[in-house]
Amino acid sequence: KGTEAVIRTCQKFRVQRLVYTSTYNVVFGGDPSNEVVDGDESYPYLSPEAHCDAYSRTKGIAERRVLSNGGAHAWRGSERKGDGKGCLYACAVRPAAIYGEGEWRHFGRIVKLIKQGAYAFIIGKKTARQDWVHIENLVDAHLRAASMLVTSDGAPGISVGQAYFINDGEPRNTFEFMRPLVMALGKRFPTMSLSYHLMMRVARGFELAYYLFGLTPMLTRCEVNKCARHHTFSIAKARKDLGFKPIVKIDDGMRRMVVWLLEQDKKQVSPKNSRHWKVFFSLLAFFLVLAFVSRARITSYM
């Protein structure tokens, strides 16, 4: 409904351009039998049932709505359709995992896990690669996509109704990507690897703990899929249509973000008297996950 409201508002106030920030997840769900190598925009949407979380499912629904009607949505009350002056023109940008200065929501949690010693193993194969995109590269892609929605004479542009994968063009294993941050926090980089299937069971346990006790999951099934399964997508279409070229290289972008994360971490203050609660809930979650995994193993042998 939120996306629908945005489209209606743009139509009401006669906005010409709309760039929807989508995600890789609209076409990639972590299916073990379908790892993606340099995929392109021809990949079909996943069905709503195939998504492992509500975020990915709703993103898929929203992107399809934005790109419906070829990405052209007539202004309300406009009698002229298709001339670039009576329509809202839209496209979608599908970013890889976003990183950079200012990203504390996800990386703040990763910092805490590393400091607590929870970043002790690698999930899946070390050869698996994933795409990343620095925030500056992503912003540049948005601006380019918007500029290509309408031509100088008001006609619909090349990006209308299109979706574009956007990344730094430098695929990297998730855990190797995190190495500079682990080192900067004075921790040992993990060498032990745990299987994808085992960690999916563990993640299910953490999700169950959330539903039962409201505990923030240390790991979700979607996160296991994203970091353990090889999935890379080509930015050739964005290069061709938008003239997109990554500005920030991945090593430089990560170096800058690590500096920012360390500065932010110093400002964080733990709530008073929270230590005992953390220990209690951590133990509770641990035993819950252990019981869940044990049950899953027993069931698999029966």
Phi, then psi, of 36 in degrees rounded to 5:
-110, 130
* Predicted local distance difference test score (pLDDT) of residue 286: 63
Q: Which residues contact 188 (CB under 8 A, 6 or more apart)?
A: 182
**Cα end-to-end distance, the chain, whole Å:** 45
Query: CA dihedral defined by 19, 25, 27, 31, rounded to 10 degrees?
Result: 180
- Distance in angstroms (rounded) separating the CA atoms of residues 117 and 119: 5
* β-strands 97-99, 132-134 pairing: parallel
- H/E stretch holding 95 reads strand 87-95
- Distance in angstroms (rounded) separating the CA atoms of residues 143 and 145: 5
* Predicted local distance difference test score (pLDDT) of residue 302: 46
**Whether 101 contacts 135, CB under 8 Å:** yes
* Predicted local distance difference test score (pLDDT) of residue 213: 84
List the domain boundaries for the chain.
Answer: 2-301
* Predicted local distance difference test score (pLDDT) of residue 292: 59
Task: Kindly report the pTM of this predicted structure.
Answer: 0.86
Positions in the chain whose pLDDT score sits under 50: 79, 82, 84, 271-274, 276-277, 280, 298-302
The CATH code belonging to domain 2-301 is 3.40.50.720
63 is written with which tokens? 């992107």
**Angle separating helix axes 2-12 and 54-67, nearest 10 degrees:** 30
**Whether 170 contacts 130, CB under 8 Å:** no
Which residues belong to the active site? Answer: 55
